[in-house]
Amino acid sequence: MRTISPWMGRLLQGLSWKKLFWILLGAAIATFGIHNIHQQAGITEGGVIGAMLLAGHWLGFSPSVITPVLDSVITPVLDVACYLLAWRYLGGMFIKISVLSTASVSLFYRLWEQFPYMLPDLSGQPLAAALLGGLFVGIGVGLIVRQGGSSGGDDALALVISKVAKCRLSFAYLFTDLTVLALSLSYIPLNRILFSVVTVTLSSFLIDQVQNFSLRRPEKA
């Protein structure tokens, strides 16, 4: 009988199958929405990726240049920087869970790419795309964050800000995303930015709600 490799065993140590299930489900939900809704409708990115696209515009880099550099160099470096910061404030278990959840997000996104789009193209209805996409991302990422991990460097940064500033997680997400989107008005039309604001506002709220959701009734005094 084949056994789990030592490094995989160390990675899974302390993680229950229930926790792993919720991480996988969250990754599947979030990436399904990003691929089938946001990608089709062209919803503008916030967070780390949006910041680098903004920098590329200001520095005069062509999208044909900045996109491969983003994918292969800059985004991984920024993600690592965010995770190092998270390690300092959130601990080693957070990093362990985030390695699993980030890998799950990548694998599920690759899986959805193997199939034709499973939802109608909402490019002509950007408000519907923003709301529905925000719903998928908010619930999916919320499930991952609820298990103590993150789906990428953006989540890690927001969690650190929330902890250090002692503010709600939704405010931390909004702070990072809206800052980037506001600066992106320098080259992206206002109508496109507004739909992205709808998405990040809804997803930030849902991530916070899912993370703190409880079926327990408050105890009577």
Q: What is the band of 74 on the pLDDT scale with cuts at 50, 70, 90? A: low
- Domain membership of residue 12 (yes or no) is no
- Domain membership of residue 156 (yes or no) is yes
- Domain membership of residue 21 (yes or no) is no
Picking from 23, 39, 21, 27, the residue whose alpha carbon sits closest to that of residue 137 is: 27
User: The domain containing residue 105 runs over which residues?
Assistant: 29-212
- Domain membership of residue 97 (yes or no) is yes
If one counts the domains in the chain, the total is 1
98 and 83 in contact (C-beta within 8 Å)? yes
Picking from 194, 179, 191, 212, the residue whose alpha carbon sits closest to that of residue 131 is: 194
| Burial of residue 123 (number of CB atoms within 10 Å: 0-12, 13-18, 19+) | exposed
- Domain membership of residue 11 (yes or no) is no
DSSP tag of 151: S
- Domain membership of residue 194 (yes or no) is yes
Give the pLDDT confidence score for residue 67 in this predicted structure. 44
Return the minimum-mean-pLDDT range out of 3-17, 114-128, 145-159. Answer: 3-17
Give the pLDDT confidence score for residue 43 in this predicted structure. 74
